[in-house]
Structure 1
Amino acid sequence: MLGTVNRVLAGVVGLTLLAVGGAVLAVGLGVSPPSWWIHDDRHDALLTAAERTRWRDEAWWWPTVLAGLALVVLLTLWWLTAVLRRRRLGEVLVDTGDGAGALLRGRALQGVLAGEAGRLDGVAHAHVHLTGRRDAPEAHVRLSLEPHVDPATTLNRLTAEALAHARDSAALRALPATVRLKGVQHKARRVS
Structure 2
Amino acid sequence: MRTVRRTTNRVLMGLAGAVLFGAGGSVLMGGLDLPAKWHFTLPGGWPWSHPDDVLLSDHNRTRWTGSGWWWPVVIAALAVIVLLLLWWLLSQFRKHRLNQLLVDSGDGEGARLRGRALEGVVTAETEALDGVDRARVLLTGRRSEPRVRAVLALAPHADPGAVVARFADEAVEHARGSAGLDELPADIRLRAVKHRAERVS
TM-score between the two structures when normalised by the length of structure 2: 0.59
Q: Which residue of the partner structure matches residue 73 of structure 1? A: 80
SS of residue paired to 1:166: helix
Q: Secondary structure at the match of 2:200?
A: coil
Aligned partner of 2:124 among 107, 111, 115 = 115
Q: Describe the shift of the 1:54–1:136 C-alpha distance in structure 2 as closer, same or farther (beyond 3 A).
A: closer
Give the CA deviation at 1:173.
1.5
Secondary structure of 2:61's match? coil
AA aligned to 1:99 is: G
Deviations 1:84-107 (A, max 9, x none): 877311111101121110111000
1:152 aligns with: 161
Length, aligned pairs only: 137
Structure 1 partner of 2:114:
105
- CA RMSD of superposed structures (Å): 3.2
SS at match of 1:112: helix
Task: Determine if the alignment matches structure 1 residue 176 to structure 2 residue 182.
Answer: no
Alpha-carbon deviation of 1:129?
A: 0.8
Whether 1:137 and 2:143 are equivalent positions in the alignment is no
Partner of 1:49: none
Are the structure 2 counterparts of residues 101 and 153 from structure 1 closer, same or farther at C-alpha, using a change threshold of 3 Å?
Answer: same
Give the 4+ runs in structure 1 shifted more than 3 A.
65-72, 77-86
Higher mean displacement: 165-174 or 80-89: 80-89
Pairing of 1:3-82 with structure 2 (within 5 A): 55-57=61-63, 70=77, 73-74=80-81, 76-77=83-84, 79-80=86-87
Runs of 5+ unmatched residues, structure 1:
3-52
TM-score, normalised by the number of residues in structure 1: 0.61
Gaps of 5+ in 2: 6-58
What is the deviation of 1:78?
A: 6.0
What is the distance in 2 between the residues matched to 1:106 and 1:149? 29
Aligned residues: percent identity? 46
1:125 aligns with 2:125: no
